[in-house]
Structure 1
Amino acid sequence: MTDARRGAVSFRGVVKTFGSFTAIPGLDLEIEPGELVTLLGPSGCGKTTTLRMLAGLETPTSGEIAIGGTEVTRLPANRRDVSMVFQSYALFPHMSVARNVAYGLESGGMKPREARAAAIEGLNLVGLTGMADRLPSELSGGQQQRVAVARALVLEPQVLLLDEPLSNLDARLRRRVRTEIRDLQQRLGFTAVYVTHDQEEALAVSDRIVVMREGRIAQQGSPRELYEAPASEFIADFIGEANVLPCEVLSIEGGDASVRVGGATLTLPARDAAPGPAKLAARANAIRLTPGPGPLTGRILSAAYLGDHMEYEVETDLGTLFVVAPEDDNAFGQGSDVALAFRARGLALIA
């Protein structure tokens, strides 16, 4: 292994079966050193099984896994250069924070004094200076999660694995801790594989998102690529809850498509579309509501005020649409008749 490949991860033709059930039918995935890749998908899609195979907690039925250019497919978990942060934190309640962080180092043969010094350095790294002698019960949930991250990082693994690390935190704390994890990863440049079912979390922390469905990669790319250019109806709906509308591609010219949606005609990137029936993914904030008649009309089924924006369900000839509008736009009540128009961004033709 060269330093340049330290932290690189490869899945080559990996298959995992449980009896007659095939959880992963054949996975090929490359993760670059220093990259934070999120495995995202609904329950049962194979993301956690993939992470557990990388950690050595499950053995592939066939195929190869490599870390840093070295094959590790059959190596036990304790011989892989990875550390894992679990959703439950898995801290020892009777040990101080410093002893929790130092535990893995001492188990590996480091002298207690050296292990404590490394543990305190790790705690400083995650913003827990001065808390070394507290018990886990004396910390908040977010602080406990940072202890779990410090415990993993002091082992200096090639790859840090995070399995739903924020699922036990409330919404506000999740936002703060995910920012801290991302900042730490970028500052230290370690490779991380992050598993979550939360689309917003994945968009916030990732260099690259791998969306999985039924054990296969449905699409992978940067957060912006997946959000703005979904490859399928499944991706469009799963990443950001897009409205998927029937449409017709009228013509293609110079990479642009002329598209009819209801009574409106739009010009959009063609994305390999051909003239004829198609589908349009429209983000909730890409639809604008106005009073009065228009080429596409609807009726407000529900209206919810959420402080800085309104959320609407609108009945139209194209189906019921979910619309998010800034609070300073026109506010409409239930039963209002509205015209719908499309903003310039947040629209994509899909297969």
Structure 2
Amino acid sequence: MTHQTEKRGAVSFRGIRKSFGAFTAIPDLNLEIAPGELVTLLGPSGCGKTTTLRMLAGLETPSAGQILIGGKDVTHLPPNRRDVAMVFQSYALFPHMSVLDNVAYGLESGGLKRGEARELADRGLALVGLEAMGHRLPAELSGGQQQRVAVARALVLEPQVLLLDEPLSNLDARLRRRVRTEIRELQQRLGFTAVYVTHDQDEALAVSDRVVVMREGIIEQSGTPRTLYEEPSSEFIADFIGEANVVPCTVDAVAAGRAQVTLGRLSLDLPARTAQIGPAKLSVRARAIRLVPVDAGEETGRVRSMSYLGDHLEYEIDSDIGALFAISTDHAEPLTPGQPVQLSFEQGGAVLIGG
């Protein structure tokens, strides 16, 4: 098997539009993906992420624009001439064939002799840690193992780009965490270019070099997981990436890259970003809210409800800046409904955002 880094491919979407009759799903998509980069397309149902992936795979044809892979225009090429491989959420394994035969199938279909195809399939299974499972049928494997077989089957084709369409959606929560780690480690070790589609924010943050958040067919924001989480560009991003409270505030002054902000009875000094003097909005992460019990009359908020979720507590808070959702890991003295509290925010937990 050729080392994967020799065939890494850049991907370019240039002025892509996709319409279905009178409905335009993708109005004007421009996106560059570097060789060896794992980019996740993230967004709510109907945002255009799966349509974008299917156009890259050749399963949908753009209404306008160009798609390039490794510098080659593939816009109108069929899937088998694009040098991509796809991992589906349904695994799409042949139930009557052994795991080894499943992995070798694409190679044999491409004209490789059976012996050589099975040798490469063995190496593919070794890449995903399943070299001892080749003789089994798919039904004899766990869901996580079946998904790894699907990844191996794609990798042995040595594509320029690996496409993953909601690859973990059929797995339970614990398996999802494990398999996403395995996929990420494999991608980093082999250095292949990957485009990953999911609606799961945690999954996107965990596996990606870069996350592209889509909304109604447009790119709302693109950046590293940390950038999107800590520096949301809009209220939509703040609300969609992680659990954030978006509350109105007032910017009183801006100087030297800092903003003086009034939020109810709180005064904050924050990075100004693009803020201007006047009304603005603030994103406050649920885990960044500190709640300190106080005597009645001294509070800036009051506990409406508390939920115990094992490793953390969740609170709904009524405050003078609106309803807030807060998360705490302090199990020693949980707050009770009706209890008055003083609100404050951890360093970096509150960020000024656009509208």
User: What's the secondary structure of 2:253's corresponding residue?
Assistant: strand
Q: Judge which range, 325-334 or 41-50, deviates more.
A: 325-334
Task: Give the letter for the 1:191 counterpart.
Answer: T
Q: Judge which range, 293-302 or 122-131, deviates more.
A: 293-302
Partner of 2:322: 319
CA separation in 2, counterparts of 1:262 and 1:329? 29
Partner of 2:19: 17
Task: Give the letter for the 2:340 counterpart.
Answer: D
User: What's the secondary structure of 1:174's corresponding residue?
Assistant: helix
CA contact (8 A) 2:235 2:246 kept: yes
Partner of 1:280: 282
Deviations 1:103-128 (A, max 9, x none): 00000001111111111110010011
CA contact (8 A) 2:155 2:162 kept: yes
Task: Give the letter for the 1:193 counterpart.
Answer: V
User: What's the secondary structure of 1:302's corresponding residue?
Assistant: strand
Give the direction of change, closer, same or farther, for the CA distance of 1:4–1:114 in structure 2 (3 Å limit).
closer
Partner of 1:52: 54
CA contact (8 A) 2:272 2:352 kept: yes
CA contact (8 A) 1:161 1:194 kept: yes
Partner of 1:150: 152
Question: Is residue 2:343 matched to residue 1:340?
Answer: yes
Question: Is residue 2:215 matched to residue 1:213?
Answer: yes
Partner of 1:309: 312
Write out the 4+ residue segments of structure 1 that deviate beyond 3 Å after TM superposition: 3-6, 293-296
Partner of 1:67: 69
CA separation in 1, counterparts of 2:190 and 2:12? 21
CA separation in 2, counterparts of 1:54 and 1:296? 55
Partner of 1:166: 168
What is the TM-score normalised by the length of structure 1? 0.97
CA contact (8 A) 1:296 1:341 kept: no
User: What's the secondary structure of 2:124's corresponding residue?
Assistant: helix
Deviations 1:238-259 (A, max 9, x none): 0002100111111111100011
Partner of 1:30: 32
Partner of 1:86: 88
User: Structure 2 matches for 1:249-264, cutoff 5 A?
Assistant: 249-264=251-266
CA contact (8 A) 1:280 1:350 kept: yes
Give the drift of 1:331: 1.4
User: What's the secondary structure of 1:95's corresponding residue?
Assistant: coil
Give the direction of change, closer, same or farther, for the CA distance of 1:57–1:296 in structure 2 (3 Å limit).
farther
Deviations 1:120-146 (A, max 9, x none): 110010011210000000000000000
CA contact (8 A) 2:8 2:192 kept: no
CA separation in 2, counterparts of 1:160 and 1:265? 49
Task: Give the letter for the 1:324 counterpart.
Answer: I
CA contact (8 A) 1:209 1:220 kept: yes
User: Structure 2 matches for 1:238-249, cutoff 5 A?
Assistant: 238-249=240-251
Give the drift of 1:5: 8.5
- In structure 2, runs of 5+ residues without a counterpart are none
Give the direction of change, closer, same or farther, for the CA distance of 1:139–1:80 in structure 2 (3 Å limit).
same
Deviations 1:127-181 (A, max 9, x none): 1121000000000000000000000000000000000000000000000000000
Task: Give the letter for the 1:243 counterpart.
Answer: N
Residue from 166, 182, 188 that aligns with 1:186 = 188
Partner of 1:97: 99
What is the TM-score normalised by the length of structure 2? 0.96
- In structure 1, runs of 5+ residues without a counterpart are none
CA contact (8 A) 1:8 1:32 kept: yes
Residue from 293, 297, 300 that aligns with 2:303 = 300
CA separation in 1, counterparts of 2:103 and 2:340? 60
Give the drift of 1:306: 2.0
- Identity among equivalent positions (%) equals 71
CA contact (8 A) 2:299 2:340 kept: no
Deviations 1:293-341 (A, max 9, x none): 6986222121112222211111112221110111246410122221111
CA separation in 2, counterparts of 1:4 and 1:318? 55
CA separation in 2, counterparts of 1:4 and 1:262? 57
Task: Give the letter for the 2:38 counterpart.
Answer: L
CA separation in 2, counterparts of 1:329 and 1:190? 47
CA contact (8 A) 2:265 2:300 kept: no
CA contact (8 A) 2:251 2:260 kept: yes
Task: Give the letter for the 1:31 counterpart.
Answer: I
Task: Give the letter for the 1:22 counterpart.
Answer: T
